[in-house]
Amino acid sequence: MSSYENFTGLEKKHLANPESDYRRLHLEKNTYQGRPGALWEFTHVPEPDEGGLVRHVIDQAFVAADGTEYAILAAGRADRWDPDKDLVFFTAIATFTAG
């Protein structure tokens, strides 16, 4: 299964749960470190008991040469997400190496 197919399957689960308030921001196939991958960005309410707190998630996944799928994910409060100031996710994807 490709990372994109994995993400679309996970997205269907979010869409099936009306309480999650899922909203896709971005989902595309890409190439990461020369391997087939996908980038997915969305917002949702992960747990109803969190008082409706909306979470922003960005996830870069790829399938390594040995068939292992890796995902580099960052999540935080949507009301505090600023892609111009995010260092965690972009540092992680710039420096990650599969073991």
Q: Which residues have C-beta within 8 Å of that of residue 20, sequence separation ≥ 6?
A: 14, 44, 45, 46
**What are the pLDDT tens digits along the chain (99 aa)?**
899 999 999 999 999 988 788 999 999 999 999 999 999 999 998 876 777 789 999 999 999 999 999 999 999 999 999 888 888 999 999 999 987
Residue 66 Cα distances to 32, 69, 88, angstroms: 15, 9, 27
Query: Among 42, 49, 52, which Cα is nearest to 7's?
Result: 42
| Six-digit token string for 37 | 């991958």
* pTM: predicted TM-score of the whole model, two decimal places: 0.90
Q: Give residue 79's Cα distance to chain centre.
A: 17
Strand boundaries in the chain, DSSP class E: 23-32, 35-44, 55-63, 69-77
CA end-to-end span of the chain: 21
